[in-house]
Amino acid sequence: MSSQGGSSVSLSGDVAFVTGAASGIGYALSRKLVELGVKVVMVDVNEEGCSDMAREFNRGTETVAIAVKANTCSWDEQFAAYERGVKAFGRIDYFFANAGISERQWLPTFDPSTASSRPITKPALTTLEVDLIGQLYTAALALQVFERQEVNRHGFRGKLLLTASIYSYFTCSTMPMYTASKAGILHFMRSAAKLYEGKGVTVNSVAPNLLATNIGSKEAFKVFEARGLLRTPMDLVVRQFISVLGDSKDNGRAISINDEEVWDHPVDMTRWEENSKCCDMMEYMTGIRTGYWKWREDA
Ligand SMILES: NC(=O)c1ccc[n+]([C@@H]2O[C@H](COP(=O)([O-])OP(=O)(O)OC[C@H]3O[C@@H](n4cnc5c(N)ncnc54)[C@H](O)[C@@H]3O)[C@@H](O)[C@H]2O)c1
């Protein structure tokens, strides 16, 4: 499913929808896209930050970026942001599901000595809402928009990119919600890439190790920096996103970056032979039940 041809064409004139565009990866990505002549719909819950960034990009005579306030956890707000984007730029070629936050505590700290005096409480799923549901809303928007628009000059209806993380593959005992979200994004990406294969749609993810952004405090990043643990360059990360745009046929890639090293994280094939017959049949049966198979030539 994945190839590594990359894009060989100019992206100038294409249009991107970037969530979390006011800061960090989303901002760096938006800046690079504008540099390459791509128009950008910059979506963020931080209205002021996002407007400042768009203003910075719009210094010339042409409007190359618009800032739209939206909380990605709200389907209605994301949909409205898309409508603003289409009104401004005509269509969206690339959706970047990027907005995210760090771990928020979901359960009270484990303490059997006081537990019986405390009520059992509903978990706080804020991390999951932003990092998983919010990104899936962007994906749902992208896939339905692509379904409704004609192929562009590169031969694609559109491309979806999701910001994963090395925590899509590795666990962290103190970040159960972040790791659950990022692992979910990875599996969604691989499933969607397979389902939409050959339909003028590609789905890929970029999964960096730690970068000093506003996702964490300056003090926390200093601790990593002092130990030489903050060496993944932002521009290398941005280049990975850019590499699968345009006429690139790459699909289903989990492009991962640690320090200067970039690799495609492999699918875990442990015990696949024993499990595959059941999994393949499950895929087929679920396809019939849900109606997905209607789309498949090999149904
Ligand atoms: N920084 C890292 O080390 C790192 C590593 C791997 C993956 N990531 C992922 O990269 C993505 C971007 O993170 P970043 O490091 O650039 O962080 P950041 O805090 O610098 O930027 C995130 C942006 O998303 C926005 N945002 C947060 N919640 C939102 C919501 N509900 N609706 C709309 N906008 C929202 C914030 O306002 C902010 O502008 C996240 O998905 C994060 O999990 C970050």
170 CA to centre of ligand 1 in angstroms:
19
DSSP β-bridge partners for residue 263: 256
Mean pLDDT, the chain, whole residue set: 95
205 CA to centre of ligand 1 in angstroms:
15
Q: Answer yes or no: are the C-beta atoms of 60 and 34 closer than 8 Å.
A: no
Q: Which residues line ligand 1 (CB under 6 A)?
A: 19-20, 22-26, 44-46, 49, 71-73, 98-101, 130-131, 134, 163, 165, 208, 210-211, 213-215
Minimal CA–CA distance to 198: which of 93, 69, 296?
Answer: 296
Q: Using one digit for the tens of pLDDT, what is the confidence trace for 209-253?
A: 999 999 999 999 999 999 999 999 999 999 999 999 999 999 999
Q: pTM to 2 decimals?
A: 0.97
Element (H, E) at 227: none
Q: Which residues of 197-236 are buried (b: 16+ CB within 10 A; e: fewer)?
A: eeebbbbbbbbbbbbbbebeeeeebeeeeeeeebebebee
In angstroms, rounded to a whole number, what is the distance separating the alpha carbons of residues 203 and 135?
A: 13
User: Out of 160-174, 205-219, 278-292, which region has the weakest mean confidence (pLDDT)?
Assistant: 278-292
Question: Looking at the predicted structure, is the pLDDT value of residue 6 above 90?
Answer: no
Q: Using one digit for the tens of pLDDT, what is the confidence trace for 138-150?
A: 999 999 999 999 9
Q: Which letter does DSSP use for residue 94 in this model?
A: E
Helical ranges in the chain per DSSP H: 24-35, 47-57, 75-89, 112-115, 126-128, 135-148, 176-196, 218-226, 234-243, 272-290
Every domain of the chain and the residues it spans: 15-268
Closest residue (by CA) to atom 42 of ligand 1?
Answer: 100
CATH number (1.20.120.1630, 3.40.50.720, 1.10.1060.10, 3.50.50.60) of 15-268 reads: 3.40.50.720
**Average pLDDT score over residue span 150-167:** 98
Report the atom number in ligand 1 closest to the C-alpha of 181. 43
For 217, what's the count of Cα atoms within 13 Å in the CB-facing half-sphere? 4
Q: pLDDT band at residue 264, thresholds of 50, 70 and 90?
A: very high
Element (H, E) at 240: helix 234-243
98 CA to centre of ligand 1 in angstroms:
6
Token pair 């200093």 is at which residue?
222
In angstroms, rounded to a whole number, what is the distance separating the alpha carbons of residues 274 and 213?
A: 43
